[in-house]
Amino acid sequence: MNTQPALLVIAHGSRDPRHAATVHALVRQVREMRPGLRVETGFLDFNVPSVQGVLESLAAEGVRDVVALPLLLTRAFHAKADIPAVLREAPARLRIRQADVLGPSPLLIAALERRLYEAGLTPADKSSTGVVLASAGSTDPEAIAVIAEIAREWRHTGWCAVRPAFASAALPRTEDAVRELRDLGCARVAVAPYVLAPGRLPDRIARGAAGADVLADVLGAAPEVARLLLARYEAARRPVLTALGA
């Protein structure tokens, strides 16, 4: 009998079919890394299955313990309000723990660099390359501050410069950060989307990267991201296991 809590990955959802396809590819990676762990995906909006539908199905099958993992990079509105509200509506028989959001994490920095190298850069290019850390943006000041801090810390790993940028709700925009890095004298400029899956805002980042030399892909199903999901799961499940006497 499997006594591990089930892992429910909660994604935002999008009308763009690339979003769900990327989420499912990431979840497949997680399943491959942890055979025997039950991993389900639920969406807050636009896609099926819904989070509520998955929770009801799990309860109907007799599952008791669930770790709900927000597929989010920062603690903004969805992590603080939307997801807790959905989880409060779960069947009473389920014991649910909400895991932390994914960021910040050194594994995400490793995934960003993987995508930049896949786009054509090499480690030897770091000292002459300025990077735009381009996120979706948020009205939550905590989330904006986290992105700015990630950019500051990433700069210390050897890049010519790193600047944050936002596709919505905050400034600067990607194109403005690209111009700033040009003005600083960086030999080349790269844009690293700090987003998990394609969609409207990542497309806006790509348009803003028109003046850059390199545009990396979204984080997507990078193995570092899959490893991070499992790390967040393990951190959240420990109190559950203690409660079960494990």
Cα separation, 6 vs 28, in Å, equals: 15
Nearby residues of 237 by Cβ (< 8 Å), 6 or more positions away: 4, 5, 65, 67, 97
pTM of this prediction? 0.94
Cα–Cα separations (whole angstroms), residue 100 to 73, 78, 94, 191, 229: 10, 12, 19, 26, 10
First-to-last C-alpha distance (Å) of the chain: 14
Peptide bond into 84 cis (omega under 30): no
Position 157: which residue type? T
Mean per-residue pLDDT for 125-137? 98
Cα separation, 1 vs 63, in Å, equals: 11
Q: Mean pLDDT of all residues in the chain?
A: 95
Question: pLDDT-derived band of residue 246, with 50, 70 and 90 as boundaries?
Answer: very low
How many percent of the chain have pLDDT more than 70? Answer: 96
> What is the token pair recorded at 57?
């199905």
Would the pLDDT of 115 be above 90?
yes
Any alpha helices (H) in the chain, and if so which ranges? 17-33, 51-60, 77, 83-88, 106-118, 141-155, 174-184, 200-208, 223-243
What are the pLDDT digits (tens) for 7-40?
999 999 999 999 999 999 999 999 999 999 999 9
Cα–Cα separations (whole angstroms), residue 222 to 54, 69, 110: 25, 17, 9
Cα separation, 134 vs 226, in Å, equals: 21
Cα separation, 73 vs 146, in Å, equals: 10
> What is the token pair recorded at 158?
């050897």
Would the pLDDT of 178 be above 50?
yes
Question: pLDDT-derived band of residue 1, with 50, 70 and 90 as boundaries?
Answer: low
- The count of other CB atoms within 10 Å of the CB of residue 240 is 19
